[in-house]
Amino acid sequence: MPRQEQEPVFARRHFIKSSSAALTAGALSGPWVHSRRAKFSWRLLTSWQSDALPLLLEGSRRFADMVRTMSAGALDIEVFAADERVPALGVFDAVKAGAAEAFNSIPRYWADQVPAAALFSSFPFGFTYNELNAFLYHGGGLELWQQVYAEHGLVPIPIMTTGMQMGGWFNKPINTISDFQGLKMRMTTLGGRVLTKAGASVVYLLGPEILPALRSGQLDAVEWIGPYSDLLIGLPSAAKYYYHPGWHEPGTNCELTVRKEIWNALPEELQMIVGAAAADTTAWIWENFEVRNAQALPEIAGKYPQVEIRRFPDSVLADLQQLTLDVLEEGAAADPMFAAVKKAAQDFASELSGWDRISTASYLQARYGG
C-alpha cells in the first residue's frame, strides 16, 4: 500500500533512538538540561478508575515519573485518576477545551463525535497489538490518526495496551448467532454495533457499574477486559460461561493525547523523552497484562468451579465477522475519515496476512496442536 510521505508529528524512530541516550548520565547532566530556563508542567487527565483499572493508572504514573526523571525535572506531569477532575469519559472534551494539557484514555470512547477514533483503539476482527503497532508506525496509521485529531487541536501518541481480550461473561450458552437475540449485554463501540445487528440490547457501563448490573439482572452478559481485570471486579462470581476469543477487541491500544499548542511548545528533546517514556510504558503494561492474565485464569478456575471457559463456535464467529463487515461499511459510508482509515487498515492487514499465516499462526498451531 502507498505510504504517507510526510513524517508524523511524533515519529517512532526518533524517540526510540533518543531513549537510550536520554537515560545516560551525559544526557541528564549535559548542556541541554543546564542551559534550559523554561520548565513545563502538565495536568494529565485519565479515564482510569483506581478500583477498576489500577494497572492502567499505575502505568500513567510510571510514565509521568519516567518523563520527570529523564528530563531532570524539565517536564513535570501531574496525573489524575478518573473523576478526580473530570469523569472518565470527559477527558477528551476537557483537554480540547483547555482545562488540562493532556489525557490518557482509549480512542474508541470518542467514537460518537470522532467516528474514526474507534479504529485506532481496536476493532472487531482487526489487528492484534503487534499488528496495530506495525500499522501505526509503518503503515501510515499514526499519520492518519494525527489527521483525525488535528481538527480538534490535539496530537495523539500511542501509549499502553491491554493486549488480547476475552469474549465476555454469559449466563446462558452461546451456540448460534440467534442466542444473542434479546440478550442484554455490556459491550463497547464497534463491537456493540455488531451485537446490536445480531439482536442484542447493548448497554455501555464503566467498570464499577458492571458487577452490580450483572448480579441484579440488568445485564445478561458483560465484556470487560481479560482474566486479571475481570477477576479484580468480581465478574466470575456472577456468571457461568466465560467465552473466548475476544473477537471485538483483539489488541486494545490506549492514547496519550496532548493539546497541539502544548505539544508544539515543547523542545524537540522533550518531545523525544515523552515518546521514549510512552514506548517503554506500553511494553511494561503489555507484559504486565500477559503475566497477570496467565496467573488469573487458573485462579478463576480454582475459586469458581461453576465457571465454564468456552470458545465461541466457529459458526458464531463467522456470523459475527460478517456482521462486522457490515458495520465497518456503514461507518465508512457515513464518515470520510472513517473510510480512509478503514481502507488503510484493511490494506495493511492484507499485506501482513501471508506472513502471519506461516509465522505466528503456524507456530502456535504447531505448539498447541489442532
Each residue's pLDDT tens digit, 244-300: 999 999 999 999 999 999 999 999 999 999 999 999 999 999 999 999 999 999 999
Whether the CB-CB separation of 232 and 195 falls below 8 Å is answered with: no
Question: How high is the pLDDT of residue 19?
Answer: 44
Residue 96 has pLDDT above 60, yes or no: yes
Whether the CB-CB separation of 320 and 177 falls below 8 Å is answered with: yes
Question: How high is the pLDDT of residue 21?
Answer: 41
Whether the CB-CB separation of 161 and 152 falls below 8 Å is answered with: no
pLDDT band at 37 (very low <50, low <70, confident <90, very high): low
Using a pLDDT cut of 70, give the percent of the chain over it: 90
Give the residues across from 158 on adjacent strands.
255
Q: What does the mean pLDDT of the chain come to?
A: 92
Question: How high is the pLDDT of residue 205?
Answer: 93
Mean pLDDT of 129-139: 95
Give the residues across from 45 on adjacent strands.
80, 103
Residue 22 has pLDDT above 50, yes or no: no
d(CA 167, CA 11): 33
d(CA 239, CA 223): 11
Give the residues across from 311 on adjacent strands.
244
Question: How high is the pLDDT of residue 7?
Answer: 44
Query: 32-55 burial, b if ≥16 CB within 10 A, otherwise e?
Result: beeebeeebebbbbbbbbeebbeb
pTM for the whole thing? 0.90
Q: Does residue 245 have a cis bond before it (omega within 30 degrees)?
A: yes
Helix intervals (H) in 83-188 = 91-96, 129-138, 141-150
List Cα–Cα distances, 70 to 13, 217, 264, 285, 312, in angstroms: 18, 50, 19, 19, 46
Q: Which amino acid is at 224?
A: W
Structurally, at CATH architecture level, domain 13-112+152-161+253-291 sits in 3-Layer(aba) Sandwich (3.40)
Mean pLDDT of 43-60: 97
Residue range 168-249+303-368, CATH number? 3.40.190.10
Higher-confidence position of 7 and 284: 284
Question: How high is the pLDDT of residue 370?
Answer: 66
- Tell the burial category of 349 from Cβ atoms under 10 Å away from its Cβ (0-12, 13-18, 19+): middle
DSSP 8-state code for residue 234: T
Q: What are phi and psi of 162, to 5 degrees?
A: -95, 0
Query: How many angstroms separate the most distant Cα atoms in the chain?
Result: 67
Residue 331 has pLDDT above 90, yes or no: yes
Q: Fold match between 13-112+152-161+253-291 and 168-249+303-368?
A: yes
DSSP 8-state code for residue 5: S
Domain range list for the chain? 13-112+152-161+253-291, 168-249+303-368
d(CA 16, CA 284): 15
pLDDT band at 14 (very low <50, low <70, confident <90, very high): very low
Residue 34 has pLDDT above 50, yes or no: no
d(CA 279, CA 158): 8
Helices 12-22 and 268-303, packing angle to 10 deg: 90
Element (H, E) at 42: strand 40-46
Give the residues across from 270 on adjacent strands.
none
pLDDT in tens, 178-221: 999 999 999 999 999 999 999 999 999 999 999 999 999 999 99
- Tell the burial category of 61 from Cβ atoms under 10 Å away from its Cβ (0-12, 13-18, 19+): middle
